[in-house]
Amino acid sequence: MVRINGESMACDGMTIGAYLEQMQYDRVRIAIERNGDIVPKAEYDTVVLQDGDVLEIVRFVGGG
């Protein structure tokens, strides 16, 4: 199980990119932290989620 934004998800073995596509995230407007470290956008399709990982996905919102 992988904990994403506080929720347990059965997505270990999946790349971050595949998860983002499945959940329909806009890659341009997010930042991801995995186990306390920022994941560069260039690595989303190569980083494989593992059991016990903790992800925080933050969406950027415009406004003023």
Predicted pLDDT of residue 36:
97
Chain-centroid distance of CA 13 in Å reads 13
> Does the model's pTM come out above 0.75?
yes
Q: In the chain, where are the structural domains located?
A: 2-59
Predicted pLDDT of residue 63:
73
Residue 18 CA to residue 32 CA, distance in Å, equals: 14
Quick check: 9 pLDDT over 90? yes
Predicted pLDDT of residue 33:
98
> Rounded to a whole number, what is the largest CA-CA distance in the chain?
39
16-48 confidence digits (pLDDT tens)? 999 999 999 999 999 999 999 999 999 999 999
Quick check: 2 pLDDT over 80? yes
Q: Does domain 2-59 have CATH number 3.10.20.30?
A: yes
